[in-house]
């Protein structure tokens, strides 16, 4: 009789071993109660880490100082054009010159381009940082839930 119980226990162990070997169920996020096997949670964590690395933050971060330099260049150009157009440096009766007007116009256009670039770069940088922060939060929550 004891041998029969041993064989039954061995047979149940063989049948139940895949179920025992499967990973435990993990609660992914307390705010969104979601259950998934640990292997799926680890795969999701790897996917989140890959997405985190793919978020482009370098370009917008470099765009902010470049746009600032463009704005400064535009201000300098407009200032030189205004100085060329002023009557202080010459005794001419007509102070405005074609070269001065071109420099002022190009300077103003450069300032406008720099401000536009600064706004676009700042917006893209803000969005990228927000996305990285959200992905980091999800990764931390998932890592906490893993055994």
Rounded CA separation 77/111 (Å) = 9
**C-beta separation of 107 from 79 below 8 A:** yes
pLDDT at residue 20 above 60?
Answer: no
Give the pair of three-digit tokens for residue 88: 């202080």
Rounded CA separation 104/74 (Å) = 9
Higher per-residue pLDDT: 25 or 117: 117
Measure the CA dihedral 120/122/124/129, to 10°. 180
Task: Work out the average pLDDT over 1-8.
Answer: 63
Q: Which residue has the tokens 């200032």?
A: 79
**C-beta separation of 65 from 125 below 8 A:** no
Residues in CB range of 131: below 8 A, 6 or more apart = 55
Reported pTM: 0.60
Task: Work out the average pLDDT over 102-124.
Answer: 94
- Give the pLDDT band (50/70/90) at residue 75: very high
Higher per-residue pLDDT: 10 or 32: 10
Q: Which residue has the tokens 């119980």?
A: 5
Among 38-42, 63-67, 113-117, the least confident range: 38-42
Question: Domain coordinates of the chain in residue numbers?
Answer: 2-145
Q: Which residue has the tokens 């720099």?
A: 114
Task: Work out the average pLDDT over 12-23.
Answer: 54
Let me know how long the chain is. Answer: 147
Specify the pLDDT at position 4. 64
Task: Work out the average pLDDT over 14-33.
Answer: 51
**C-beta separation of 28 from 36 below 8 A:** yes
């Amino acid at each position: 009789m004891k041998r029969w119980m041993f064989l039954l226990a061995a047979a149940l162990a063989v049948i139940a071993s895949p179920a025992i070997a499967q990973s435990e169920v993990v609660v992914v996020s307390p705010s969104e109660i979601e259950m998934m096997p640990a292997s799926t949670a680890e795969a999701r964590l790897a996917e989140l880490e890959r997405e985190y690395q793919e978020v482009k933050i370098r370009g917008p971060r470099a765009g902010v100082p470049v746009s600032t330099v463009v704005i400064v260049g535009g201000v300098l150009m407009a200032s030189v054009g205004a100085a060329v157009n002023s009557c202080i440096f010459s005794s001419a009766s007509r102070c405005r010159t074609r070269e001065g007007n071109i420099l002022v116009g190009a300077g103003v256009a450069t300032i406008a381009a720099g401000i536009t670039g600064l706004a676009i770069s700042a917006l893209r940088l803000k969005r990228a940082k927000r996305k990285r922060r959200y992905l980091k939060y999800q990764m931390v929550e998932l890592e906490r839930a893993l055994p």
